[in-house]
Amino acid sequence: MKFINQDNVELVDINDTPIERVTENGILTSDQERNFDIIIYATGFDAITGTSKGLNRRRERR
In this prediction, residues 45-52 reach a mean pLDDT of: 65
In this prediction, residues 57-61 reach a mean pLDDT of: 63
pLDDT at 60: 64
- Percentage of the chain beyond pLDDT 90 is 37
pLDDT at 55: 58
C-alpha 55/C-alpha 32 separation (Å) is 31
Mind listing the pLDDT tens digit for each residue in 11-27? 899 899 999 999 999 99
Assign 3-class secondary structure to the chain: CHHHCCCCCCCCCCCCCCEEEECCCEEEECCCEEECCCCCCCCCECCCCCCECCCCCCCCCC
